[in-house]
Amino acid sequence: MRIATWNVNSITARLPRLLAWLENTGTDVLCIQETKCSPEQFPADQLRELGYESAVTATGRWNGVALVSRVGLEDVVSGLPGGPAYDGAQEPRAVSATCGPVRAWSVYVPNGREVDHAHYAYKLEWLAALRTAVAEDAAGGRPFAVLGDFNVAPTDDDLWDPAAFVGQTHITPAERKALTTLRDTGLSDVLPRALKYDRPFTFWDYRALGFPKNRGMRIDLVYGNTAFAGAVSDAYVDREERKGKGASDHAPVVVDLDL
């Protein structure tokens, strides 16, 4: 089974690349972030033609997440149970479903903006709610994973230059502690486990030649429980999909499971 996560930064803008990528890679389940569309605008019909069912949590031009699967899509939960609100509403940042033998979450963790911004406090509240929501599945025996854009680099090794991020979000002790607390439910970071080389980045800013200069961050993560992590046979970041005209600023993260 092949499962992946990809922040597409607008599914409308990325649709031709997305459809071609699914066909070329043989991905069974894809967790998508930043759809930036309404539920009515989501390309469910085009995906259905390729054999994928869709579960979408979206409200319009900002945020939005989805799960698409060709191995089944059951027990869908839209939104983050018990999640906090921002500006009076819960943003569309989480969707979960059972896809064949695996229970998966697609998450788009709040950015946080600046350390002294209200959105940063919201980010920490959101991560705490995520921990509570996934704790039971994380400790269970069924393969389970939380995949997505976490907007946190777990360590300084996940940054092209730690000095360039001093004073910014994504690297603060509180954010990293929130990730540790999430992993303490029984999850592990499966990408470094599987890779035979240094952890690659998953995000490169469009500005200042971020990708050509490899000035990136690893913020797109796959956290799996014991049953999921033990089945991982391979994992990689598809850097090729970050290349060329019309690419997202994130690359897909792909995990192969022997189940």
Q: Residue 152: give its domain's CATH number.
A: 3.60.10.10
Buried b (16+ CB within 10 A) or exposed e, 53-84: bbbbbbeeeebbbbbbbbbebeeeebbbeebb
Amino acid, single-letter form, for residue 214: N
Q: How many CB atoms lie within 10 A of CB 171?
A: 20
- Mean pLDDT for the stretch of residues 159-186: 97
For residue 239, the enclosing domain spans 2-257
Q: Is 170 annotated as a binding residue?
A: no
Mean pLDDT of 60-66: 93
Question: Considering 149, 189, 220, 238, which one is annotated as catalytic?
Answer: 149
Nearest C-alpha neighbor of 171 from the set 183, 182, 159: 159
| Residue 120 annotated among the catalytic residues of the structure | no
Active site residue 161: no
What integer pLDDT is reported at residue 196 of this predicted model? Answer: 61
Domain count, the chain: 1
Are 85 and 61 a contacting pair, CB within 8 Å? Answer: no
Q: Which of 108, 120, 223, 236 is catalytic?
A: 108
The per-residue pLDDT for range 212-239, each reduced to its tens digit, is 999 999 999 999 999 999 999 999 999 9
* pLDDT at residue 197 in the model: 61
Laid out side by side, the sheet with 53-57 consists of 53-57, 65-69, 29-33, 2-7, 253-257, 232-237
Cβ count within 10 A of residue 173: 7
Share of the chain above pLDDT 90, in %: 95
The pLDDT of residue 2 is: 98
